[in-house]
Structure 1
Amino acid sequence: MCHAWFTVVAATSTHSRHRRIGGWENDGVTELTHLHSGKVRDLYRAPDGSLVMVASDRISAYDFILSTPIPDKGAILTALSVWWFEQLADLAPNHLISVDSPVIPAQWRGRAMLCQSLDMVKVECVARGYLTGGGLSEYEASGLVSGIALPSGLLDGSRLPEPIFTPSTKADVGEHDEPMSFAEVEALVGAEEAQELRALTLAVYSRAAGIAAEAGVILADTKIEFGRDTAGRLVIADEVLTPDSSRFWPAQEWQPGHRQPSYDKQFVRDWLTSPAANWDRSSGVEPPPLPEEIALATRERYLQAYERLTGRSFADWTAAHG
């Protein structure tokens, strides 16, 4: 699979407004308007106003976009999001129109989605069923997570008494999402929308955690983005329940009190903070390139997440959509 285009895009200014894209199945050429490049995804507007969202192989950690891509990562994220959209369809609509539309250039097939354009909610909606990561740091400092008091004595990896809604701000690339209390969410979007966001986020988490448990996987936490469609409905947008937006742990190896083995990018975070990386997070200097073995091991973890959760072969996805 060729990844050269994504290297070019990562090095191109996000202020470039138009690109001419070829390689269509019908050998036609159309113009997609480049709207934005984020940490992982590149967003384009199609002539009819819909959006083409392309998941690259870029990976981010500690608010940096790393220089080393993870092979097939974008396609795995797209395949898993599409599968989760199917599992959640009765809970909430999603922004997906098609992964096979002729609007999507051939070289992006398998990693791109044609999506609705939405009015995005200005809150990152996070649900936690287990204590780790940023939630653990908050808890250790104050006994609270997003203003919610938790029992004393919890450890890294402890299961919470019940899942909690722990929203955060939406930060730009290079900046850090900051935790928000529910009162702050109410002040930002209004009490009614805040309650709707909390209820839907926790419902999605509960459904997904149950599905993951059947596959022998713990869904520790997840981040969900929502937008409003033209009918005013809350719609799941961007990616959902992927190793980039969630923490997945093998259930048989779960043991509170230390960092858990995972099927997500925690493996990359751990390497970056190890002596092998020789990198200081607080230095402001960009992280070093990932060694090939770390990049390939990360790919394997993403692949395991997809195949274990879905029961499907990633090779089948690439054969059908690649």
Structure 2
Amino acid sequence: MSKKIYIISLFCICFLFPYKAVAQSTIITGIVTDSVTNEPLPYVSVFLKGPQVGVTTDDEGRFSIKTSSAFSKIIFTSLGYQGKEISVKRGGTHNLEVRLLPSTYDVKEVIVRPKRDRYKRKGNPAVDFVKNIIERRDQNSPENHDYYNYEQYDKLTLALNDFSEEQKKKWLFKKFQFIFDYVDTSEVSGKPILTVSIKEKIAENHYRKSPTSHKQQVTGIKRAGIDEMFNQESLQQFYDEVFKEVDIFGNDVTMLLTRFVSPLSNIGPAFYRYYLMDTIQVEGERCVDLA
């Protein structure tokens, strides 16, 4: 009887040990983050090198893989990031914190030139739109209302344009090298400029048609720069003459002491080219971006 028990026990030991070796499993969990921002990375491909078993990270950058197959490494790849391989010992449970480095790409300059169509006034919706405005110009002009008022904000900046390194060599600036610390970049041309004067004003304007009255109440004014070196009254007269307020509803407008045909003049459609760029909403009102 004891002999039979010994044989059965030996058989069980020989059977169970190989099965345990074959069924050995590995569990790998973890999180993948951006190495720069430390933010979790979703949809990163995570797969085992060898059996090609893989998953993707969830919205929080987490993943979990369970396998009983043999593998050598675990690989992480994602668009816009450098791939990464990590060696993991087979068997047991492993928790990884993986940080991927963003990739850098050198993109050559691409110039897109739109096809230029021949400008036509006949059948042009922009021209038709402007003609409708001109027909209602007197009706829409603020001067034809009994009363109106509005808040006005003016900002005038005077600067030396294209202020390059060559300017430093001129005798005028040799004793004032500190001013080069205030060189800025123009938002229009992208060239360096040196601001020499800034003036800001906020005012409330009130108009009455009959009897005619037009009053302006200045609620705030700020000056900085060379303006403070000159007589303010004379300087203001100069500004008022050079930078006159534009009345778009008139037949002509004056800018920088030069008269131009108003875009809403009767001869405007023959003088200018009009383009409907876009439609926009302003305080709930549908408006047109006209160029």
* TM > 0.5 fold call: no
Under a length normalisation based on structure 1, what TM-score does the superposition of the two structures give? 0.18
Structure ranking higher in helix proportion: 1
Higher relative contact order (CA closer than 8 Å, sequence separation 6+): 1
| TM-score (normalizing by structure 2) | 0.20
Instruction: From the CA coordinates, give the structure whose radius of gyration is larger.
Output: 2
